A = this chain, B = another copy of it.
């Protein structure tokens, strides 16, 4: 169900087998206000009751397919109904708490958020006046500022903090690069076509939808059928086009909407193809990820880093995937911004000098074992996950910790964030370990950051394809003595013996591995000659003692050459931003006077503007004060907007809340002004000279709003009335 955006997931941009498990519950887990203390326990109750429903449904099915009598079956169905009612009631309780008076369904909640986002131009469908294009979105003014704040913070938190080498490579990529990376051959989804309309669908989506629907609605399914459908969902990722096609035929699955017959599934490459230069003979693609631009530059970057490991390179940029039928708004798009890190490390030493900085962090982790055994994610101390071997190595763990801090600081609710380890069938064969940062949204758990130890795969692939040796060296503090096998064929003797075949025999001798060579050496010493198979000739030849000298020599080596491993945290910026929108959104109880109830509780770090300046009424005097304040805010580097419309102050507060501006300065006097905080709606009064300093202090996090409230006189009397004006 979820779209993967990092290079290790060439195959698994297809749904993960477990995704349906979490969707059932995930759907109700959104919230529209701050986390209530008893919400977590209510969620647990709902989850348990839903699992009881599930088990009872299994029982009903078994009874129906067995020899049980009607009475027994009826009783069992009644019990199921009761359990369902019970679960529904628990869900409602949860909603009453989590919904904070909203009591909307997940879809209603999402619709409210999306409506607000589109109406305030956080984002909107691209090329709308031409009917739009599925999977393409524009960020409008406030969204664009949020995005640029998120990217600035990313650069600060990762690139600058860790002295990473940032690069900026083109999106247009020649075929050879993506041939080496495997994308040309394997970056595909299986597609079926509506045989009449030609409309395209993802084959796995159709099969998944069918299985889930059947399991949800058909209680009379016999147990073997249930098991079969569940099995399909579990292995969906691994099905071949043939099996997928056979299942679609067997179940009589037709095209959604039209109900027409479907073609056989065939792979569709998800890259946008183009042609570089005017001749038309150099195919190119729009990159599906930014990582390859770093790998092909490894040699230069390693040199730039003084030929030392470890080091990390990073890149922020656009990536492209020509999705078959994109849905889910900002979560599955055809063009998106990625921020990727490739941390190169000696495979023999994956420790991290700064791991201690993150070792004490505690957050939800969801290791492979817990997933396989049906347990849920649990709060884990990161240091323990390393010491117990749950996470493969310190460097991987360090990045998991840093990603956690990054998302938390952005304003992602830490209770709706978990790190999920890849199951064996999700992970590429070469990967040492992979964890996804998943954020819960109204669409369920969304993979937003992939953190993978990809071993030496990428550098080796490009070494093989380009012939340029992408390796690192470790200089020994003192030379090491090593034994080295030397095979020295005699061209003259081989020529005499094998004439035209001389070269092939010689190559075969040189290509022997250590064991073969030592065996030949022993044979020649004991028997003077030996039978030797030359594959390229397709036959055995006789090698005599004078034809080759095999010896073991002692050599001093001064360094070790190796292909570095790479640890890759890969961030889907649009997905993170969308989840942030949902986590930040809440509605304020409607009053008789106030029209606007939607608020984004963005932290100052990501808020599109840090504050607004309002003259209370239209007056030249107040406008002049507003200008003075604007100037001092600009000097303090605080982004702001001035709203001099004559609208009521209450409406202006609502407008500023709706785009998530944390502070509003109202000019109601020549000497002092009020500052209102968005979420508490409390106000303080400060002098015009102090206002920029105060805002800067709280925006930059040197003080909290509570500290500020202590220091300055509150403006309590007017707070409620102006807000509701």
Contacts and interface: CB of A to CB of B under 8 A. Distances in A.
Interface string A162-206: 010111111111101100000000000001000000111000000
Interface in A81-137: 120-121, 124, 126-130, 133-134, 136-137
Nearest to A271: B274
Nearest to A278: B200
A647 B165 CA distance: 21
B191 A165 contact: no
Nearest to A294: B138
A324 B170 contact: no
Contact of A165 (B141, B160, B277, B299): B141
Interface stretch (A143-151, A379-387, A553-561): A143-151
A279 B263 CA distance: 13
A468 interface: yes
A306 interface: yes
A160 to B, nearest CB: 6
Contacts of A470: 129
Nearest to A334: B172
Contacts of A279: 198-200
A129 B296 contact: yes
B124 A300 contact: yes
B335 A170 contact: yes
A322 interface: yes
Given A277-B200, A641-B163, A129 B299 contact: yes
A335 B171 contact: yes
A171 B171 contact: yes
Interface in A217-255: none
A466 B167 CA distance: 39
A441 to B, nearest CB: 21
B140 A167 contact: yes
A626 to B, nearest CB: 13
B198 A124 contact: no
Contact of A145 (B166, B268, B301): B166
A273 interface: yes
Given A136-B172, A318-B318, A167 B155 contact: no
B171 A144 contact: no
Oligomeric state, in copies: 2
Interface residues of A, number: 76
Nearest to A133: B174
A420 to B, nearest CB: 30
A276 interface: yes
A366 interface: no
A293 interface: yes
Contacts of A639: 160
Contacts of A168: 138-139, 143-144, 147
A490 interface: no
B126 A169 contact: yes
A320 interface: yes
Interface string A253-289: 0000000000000001000111111110010101000
Contacts of A167: 138-141, 144
A172 B320 contact: yes
Given A138-B167, A286-B172, A297-B124, A466 B130 contact: yes
A648 interface: no
A133 B173 CA distance: 9
A641 to B, nearest CB: 7
Interface string A692-722: 0000000000000000000000000000000
B172 A335 contact: yes
Nearest to A197: B279
B286 A274 contact: yes
Nearest to A180: B130
A449 to B, nearest CB: 21
Contacts of A324: 277-278
A168 B277 CA distance: 27
A304 interface: yes
B278 A191 contact: yes
A376 interface: no
A64 interface: no
Q: Which of A140, A176, A200, A639 is packed against the most chain B CB atoms within 10 Å?
A: A140
A523 interface: no
Contacts of A177: 127, 130
Contacts of A273: 274-275
A322 B279 CA distance: 11
Interface string A438-472: 00000000000000000000000010011010100
A274 B274 contact: yes
Nearest to A335: B170
Contact of A121 (B121, B304, B306): B304
Nearest to A121: B304
A546 to B, nearest CB: 43
A409 interface: no
Contacts of A165: 140-141
Interface string A611-652: 000000000000000000000001000010100010000000
Given A138-B168, A306-B645, A126 B275 contact: no
A140 B294 CA distance: 10
A296 B335 contact: no
Nearest to A313: B141
A126 B315 CA distance: 14
Contacts of A466: 129-130
A300 B335 contact: no
A37 B138 CA distance: 50
Contacts of A300: 121, 124, 128, 140
A301 to B, nearest CB: 8
A272 B277 CA distance: 9
Nearest to A468: B129
Contacts of A277: 134, 200, 322, 324
A278 B641 CA distance: 44
Interface of A: 120-121, 124, 126-130, 133-134, 136-141, 143-145, 147-148, 155, 160-161, 163, 165-174, 176-177, 191, 198-200, 268, 272-279, 282, 284, 286, 293, 296-297, 299-301, 304, 306, 318, 320, 322, 324, 334-335, 462, 465-466, 468, 470, 634, 639, 641, 645
Given A126-B169, A141-B165, A318-B318, 5 more contacts: A127-B173, A129-B468, A140-B301, A148-B166, A161-B634
20 contacts: A121-B301, A126-B293, A127-B176, A129-B296, A130-B177, A130-B465, A133-B174, A134-B277, A137-B170, A140-B167, A140-B300, A140-B304, A147-B168, A198-B279, A199-B279, A272-B284, A275-B322, A276-B334, A277-B322, A277-B324
